[in-house]
């Protein structure tokens, strides 16, 4: 079997990258392209099996949010395990670096003065990494984002692109071990020939929501130039 080194990229789920370097230099937030784009159940390296795959998420991240919603709606909570990072990233005094997602169930939340019960240690890789970035580093990647769909068997990242993760979970729900009957489980991206119009509508809405709402918050919030901020806002 070929080692999965050439992921297939679905260009419909990303921002235009033209002149990204100069746009960034002018203060614009230009989201990079997610690099792990394998297809669960289609790439022979990643067959669909119950209990094999794992998600790393932040509950306050809009991209993770849609993945965790899909996992629940499709009855995959038991067959796809999941770890949750602390909702604030690492501080300036972190021994590795600031602004990274951290698995730290002991970390105290400023607002409550207590740990957060939903936060977990990292249990997917077997290494108990403290930082999501370390999961990428093990693959030679400099990315650091969540969500991550991870294969516990091969210890490889399958995908870090939420729109594609959702479609894969939907398509492979039965093979992945959904606890719901076919009658009860919603089909959130119907693949039948007669559903082409609905799929086109979902894709169109996803492009609109991705660029203007989910990523829109970043384009405004992370711009470092007032005019760029105003335009994004």
Ligand X SMILES: N[C@@H](CCC(=O)N[C@@H](CS)C(=O)NCC(=O)O)C(=O)O
Q: In what order do the strands lie in the sheet with 156-159?
A: 81-84, 53-57, 148-151, 156-159
Shortest distance, position 67 Cβ to ligand X, whole Å: 7
Please pick, among 45, 53, 61, 229, the residue that the annotation labels catalytic: 61
With CB under 6 A as the contact rule, the residue among 28, 83, 151, 161 that binds ligand X is 161
For ligand X, give the closer residue by CB, 174 or 209: 209
- Total residues in contact with ligand X, by rule CB under 6 A: 11
Q: Please choose, out of 56-64, 110-118, 120-128, 174-182, the segment that lies near ligand X by the rule CB under 6 A.
A: 56-64
Q: How far is the CB of 120 from ligand X (least distance, A)?
A: 16
Q: Return the number of the residue (88 or 179) whose C-beta is nearest ligand X.
A: 88
Nearer of residues 32 and 196 to ligand X, judged by Cβ: 32
Strands 81-84 and 53-57 turn out to be parallel
Site membership for ligand X, residue 162 (CB under 6 A): yes
> What residues contact residue 148 under an 8 Å CB cut-off, 6+ apart?
36, 55, 56, 132, 135, 136, 157, 159, 160
Stretch that binds ligand X, among 17-25, 55-63, 113-121, 166-174 (CB under 6 A): 55-63
We find the least distance from the C-beta atom of residue 194 to ligand X, in angstroms, to be 29
76/146 with CB nearer ligand X: 146
Q: Which of 34, 48, 79, 120 binds ligand X (CB under 6 A)?
A: 34
- One of 30, 40, 55, 61 touching ligand X (CB under 6 A): 61
Residue that is written with structure tokens 């799929």 in the block = 199
* Catalytic residue status for 61: yes
Residues of span 124-153 touching ligand X by CB under 6 A:
144-147
Residues involved in catalysis: 61, 218
Residues that bind ligand X (CB under 6 A): 34, 58, 61, 63, 144-147, 160-162
């Amino acid at each position: 079997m070929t080692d999965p080194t050439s992921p297939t990229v679905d260009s419909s789920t990303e921002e235009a990258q033209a002149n990204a370097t100069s746009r960034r230099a002018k203060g614009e937030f230009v989201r990079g392209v997610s690099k792990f784009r394998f297809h669960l159940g289609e790439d022979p390296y990643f067959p669909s099996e119950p209990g094999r795959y794992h998600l790393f998420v932040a509950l306050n991240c809009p991209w993770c949010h849609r993945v965790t919603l899909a996992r629940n709606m499709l009855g995959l909570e038991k067959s796809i395990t999941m770890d949750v990072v602390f909702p604030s990233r690492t501080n300036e005094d972190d021994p590795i670096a600031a602004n990274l997602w951290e698995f730290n169930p002991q970390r105290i939340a400023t607002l409550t003065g207590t740990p957060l019960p939903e936060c977990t240690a990292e249990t997917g890789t077997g290494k108990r990494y403290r930082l999501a970035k370390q999961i990428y580093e093990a693959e030679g990647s400099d990315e650091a984002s969540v969500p991550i769909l991870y294969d516990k068997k091969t210890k490889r990242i399958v995908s870090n692109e939420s729109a594609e993760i959702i479609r894969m979970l939907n398509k492979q729900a039965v093979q992945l071990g959904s606890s719901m009957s076919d009658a009860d489980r919603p089909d959130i991206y119907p693949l039948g020939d007669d559903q082409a119009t609905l799929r086109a509508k979902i894709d169109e809405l996803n492009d609109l929501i991705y660029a203007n709402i989910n990523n829109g918050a970043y384009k405004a919030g992370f711009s470092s130039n007032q005019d760029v901020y105003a335009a994004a806002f």
